[in-house]
């Protein structure tokens, strides 16, 4: 990259990285000082209120994918693509009633994997664990890559340096503060992100009028405005279902449901869904504006930050840097914490230390965070594919978990074999669609197969689950 071809100098990039890195670590350690017990470390004492609960849901769901993938969607798939990305808010909105149900059904629960184990048994637990860990890793890898790509595009910082520093910062503060640190930093990060997005939106619209963007697209990229754009039409519900699958199955969202005070979860997730809804539309507009302002896009996944930084100059570059760094940190820390909970409670404890004390589990969870960070770093090193291809590979897998989860939470007749078959068949057929048709169909097809399997097996061989099994895991519970 020739000297002076980036919006920020490398020195400015390193300075911003240093300032925000130190700030997150300091804040994480400050908020995390209460995370001495296992409950404090993993589920923030189960006492998170509405403001923090809403902020953590918003900040976690505004990932690097929202700020970088939504513009990519718009640039690749046009107006449909922009709307398709915003449908991911339905995941948060629909999780609201689930959060309430989860908190009631498992008052002492820790993870989504624990629910599947208790509800459907060992075979479903193994399949779900693999899906959950694979998804967590692809999400984290996509964000580690996004960090490296962004710093390289904005400030010319070599990909490997940028990616490594961002991962290191997140590992350090999550390590010290667990979910307390994650939720505390999420609050600050969500405020910065929301303010930054509003400033960028106003500034962009004042410099590039909508009519100019529309005119340029109509003349040079007409397919991006075409209502009959086949790949974009297919992407709409695929993305919606991907968002639902991500949230319904991932322990990132379950751990927050466990962490929120009783009665808070439903309101927090509903509010978060409505706050999140317009953000991909703003981010997506950047992708549509790219052709109008004549920017050459070398990688579609950096189009959003590049357009903002080019239009708004140095100050815009700094703003974009901060917003994307916040969105990256708020999601990477959540994933580190949630993955560590799953590995510690659902893999290491039952296999290696069934009688371990909470204090020992707390220490093991810290070590797992370091290990997960290292694995993510190693996978990020080769910089493979674009963000979309990395992330959407997990689409059919998470889509196949939607029906086993909602049927498991509400339908006592859904059975073990049906859940296992639904996840296996849904994932398999969905991956086939990924290869044969395209990533924008894989989740949809995987979810459809999973739905038919769950409903079919339940009607053919109805079970009768005793809900008290879920609550009884740690003794005292409401039936």
Q: Would you tell me which residues interact with other proteins (CB under 8 A)?
A: 1-2, 5, 75-78, 90, 94, 97-98, 100-101, 104, 217, 220-224, 228-231, 233-234, 236-238, 240-241, 244, 291, 296-300, 303, 402, 406-407, 409-411, 437-438, 440-441, 444-445, 447-448, 451
Q: Which helix (H) or strand (E) holds 60?
A: helix 50-61
The least distance separating other proteins from the CB of residue 461, rounded to whole angstroms, comes to: 19
The least distance separating other proteins from the CB of residue 261, rounded to whole angstroms, comes to: 17
Q: Tell me the β-bridge partners of 181.
A: none
Please tell me whether residue 262 adopts helix, strand or coil conformation. Answer: coil
The least distance separating other proteins from the CB of residue 146, rounded to whole angstroms, comes to: 17
Which residue, 48 or 241, is less far from other proteins as judged by CB?
241
Burial of 263 (0-12, 13-18, 19+ CB in 10 A): exposed
The least distance separating other proteins from the CB of residue 253, rounded to whole angstroms, comes to: 14
Which residue, 224 or 397, is less far from other proteins as judged by CB?
224
Residue with tokens 């990259």: 1
Which residue, 227 or 351, is less far from other proteins as judged by CB?
227
The least distance separating other proteins from the CB of residue 413, rounded to whole angstroms, comes to: 12
Diameter of the chain by CA atoms?
A: 68
d(C-alpha 128, C-alpha 367), whole Å:
23
CB 63 within 8 A of CB 327: yes
Please tell me whether residue 63 adopts helix, strand or coil conformation. Answer: coil
Which residue, 183 or 236, is less far from other proteins as judged by CB?
236
Which residue, 309 or 342, is less far from other proteins as judged by CB?
309
Which residue, 52 or 150, is less far from other proteins as judged by CB?
150
How many helices (H) and strands (E) the chain has is answered by 23, 0
The least distance separating other proteins from the CB of residue 27, rounded to whole angstroms, comes to: 36
DSSP assignment of 268-314, as one string? Answer: HHHHHHHHHTTHHHHHHHHHHHHHHHTPPPSSGGGHHHHHHHHHHHH
The least distance separating other proteins from the CB of residue 119, rounded to whole angstroms, comes to: 15
The least distance separating other proteins from the CB of residue 213, rounded to whole angstroms, comes to: 13
Q: Which helix (H) or strand (E) holds 29?
A: helix 10-31
The least distance separating other proteins from the CB of residue 102, rounded to whole angstroms, comes to: 11
Which residue, 37 or 389, is less far from other proteins as judged by CB?
389
Residue 242's alpha-carbon distances to 283, 442, 469, in angstroms, are 19, 9, 30
Tokens of 331: 């999601």
Q: Tell me the β-bridge partners of 260.
A: 48
Which residue, 158 or 230, is less far from other proteins as judged by CB?
230
CB 280 within 8 A of CB 48: no
* 363 Ramachandran zone, left/alpha/beta (phi>0; psi -120 to 50): alpha
CB 258 within 8 A of CB 109: yes
CB 149 within 8 A of CB 341: no
Which residue, 181 or 213, is less far from other proteins as judged by CB?
213
């Amino acid at each position: 990259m020739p000297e002076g071809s980036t919006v920020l100098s490398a020195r400015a990039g390193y300075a911003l990285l240093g300032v925000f890195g130190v700030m997150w670590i300091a804040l994480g350690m400050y908020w995390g000082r209460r995370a001495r017990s296992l409950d404090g470390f993993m589920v923030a004492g189960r006492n998170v209120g509405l403001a923090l609960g809403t902020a953590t849901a918003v900040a976690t769901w505004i990932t690097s994918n929202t700020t970088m993938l939504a513009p990519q969607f718009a640039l690749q798939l046009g107006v449909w693509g922009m709307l398709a990305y915003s449908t991911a808010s339905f995941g948060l909105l629909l999780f609201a009633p689930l959060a309430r149900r989860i908190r009631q059904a498992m008052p002492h629960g820790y993870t989504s994997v624990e629910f599947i184990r208790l509800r459907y048994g060992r075979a479903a637990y193994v399949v779900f664990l693999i899906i959950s860990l694979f998804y967590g890793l692809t999400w984290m890898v996509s964000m580690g890559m996004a960090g490296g790509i962004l710093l390289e595009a904005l400030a010319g910082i070599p990909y490997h340096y940028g990616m490594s520093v961002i991962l290191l910062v997140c590992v350090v503060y999550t390590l010290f503060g667990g979910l307390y640190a994650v939720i505390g930093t999420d609050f600050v990060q969500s405020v910065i992100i929301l303010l930054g997005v509003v400033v960028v939106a106003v500034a962009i619209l004042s410099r590039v009028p909508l009519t100019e963007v529309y005119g340029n697209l109509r003349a040079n990229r007409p397919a991006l405005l075409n209502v009959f754009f086949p790949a974009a039409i297919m992407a709409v519900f695929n993305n919606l279902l991907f968002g639902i699958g991500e949230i319904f199955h991932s322990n990132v969202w379950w751990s927050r449901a466990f962490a929120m005070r009783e009665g808070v979860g439903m309101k927090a997730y509903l509010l978060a869904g409505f706050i999140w809804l317009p953000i991909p539309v703003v981010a997506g507009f950047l992708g549509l504006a790219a052709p109008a302002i004549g920017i050459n896009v070398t990688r579609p996944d950096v189009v959003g930050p590049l357009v903002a930084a080019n239009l708004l100059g140095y100050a815009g570059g700094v703003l974009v840097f901060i917003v994307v760094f916040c969105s990256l940190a708020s999601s990477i820390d959540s994933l580190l914490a949630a993955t560590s909970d799953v590995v510690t409670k659902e893999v290491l404890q039952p296999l290696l230390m069934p009688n371990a004390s909470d204090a020992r589990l707390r220490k093991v969870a810290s070590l797992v965070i370091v290990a997960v960070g290292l694995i993510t770093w190693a996978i990020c090193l080769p910089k493979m594919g674009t963000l979309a291809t990395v992330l959407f590979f997990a689409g059919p897998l998470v889509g196949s978990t939607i029906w086993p989860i909602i049927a498991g939470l509400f339908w006592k007749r859904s059975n073990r074999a049906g859940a296992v078959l639904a996840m296996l068949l849904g994932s398999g057929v969905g991956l086939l669609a990924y290869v044969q048709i395209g990533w924008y169909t894989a989740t949809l097809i995987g979810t459809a197969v999973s739905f038919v399997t769950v409903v079919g097996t339940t009607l053919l061989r109805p079970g009768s689950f005793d809900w008290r099994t879920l609550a009884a895991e740690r003794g005292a519970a409401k039936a």
